[in-house]
Amino acid sequence: MVGMPVTVTIVDHPIAAEALTNLRDQNSSNQVFRAEMRRLSLIVIAEATRSVPTRKVRVTTPLCETDGWQIAQRPVLVPILRAGLGMLPAAMELLPDADIAVVGVQRDEVTHEPSEYVAKLPARLDGRHCIVLDPMLATGGSLEHGCKILAARGAPQPLTIACVLAAPEGIAYLEKSGMNLHIVTASVDERLNEHAFIVPGLGDAGDRQFGPPN
């Protein structure tokens, strides 16, 4: 299959760089990690929504009427469980009227293949601007699975993916998916290790936010 366009935007901002440094630090507590995830997510998601459709409106200030802008329709926020939940508060703060859908995909620790365990989202997404939230783009398997669910329900492309870190291998994998995707991230790191973790990375984003599952 010939790959569709996959574009990557790397957020270049000193606050993003500082927040990412604190996320990478192995000594950051779960509380600090969650706070820095929210801080960085605000910047990444703001960039990811740069092309969200808008409409012109009239607004009355204390002095006169003037033109203003509103988001044209409610976007759909799609956190990939469970790590994507850490980006959701920032996304809801920026887009308080957004609908929220969830896709649960877990990676087999041996084969690294994705396995879906939940998908709660509208039956049709035609014309809805979807923003996928997943802190770590590692192998690309979980994100591809989630994006294909959205595409099958009519979500317009390019689909927007907001993540904290991306690995070159994951980007290359998505380029072969046949979908048109726009990835917004704070960093494209060096590589994946033999366990499919991003290097230098920041460890397991889900565990560092919420604690180990067992």
The set of catalytic residues is 107, 111, 204, 207
Q: Give the whole-angstrom CA distance, residue 3 versus residue 212.
A: 36
Task: Say which DSSP state 193 is in.
Answer: -
Q: Are 102 and 126 in contact (CB under 8 A)?
A: no
Please report, for residues 45, 90, 109, 151, the alpha-carbon distance to residue 3 in angstroms, rounded to integers and kept in the order given. Answer: 25, 32, 27, 15
Q: Are 150 and 128 in contact (CB under 8 A)?
A: no
Q: Which residues contact 156 (CB under 8 A, 6 or more apart)?
A: 125, 126, 127, 128, 129, 130
- Please provide the DSSP assignment of 140-181 as one string: SHHHHHHHHHHHHTT--SSEEEE-SEE-HHHHHHHHTSS--E
Residue among 100, 109, 104 at smallest CA distance from 82: 104
Query: 129: which 2 tokens?
Result: 């601007």
Query: 150: which 2 tokens?
Result: 């959205």
Residue among 142, 208, 144 at smallest CA distance from 179: 144
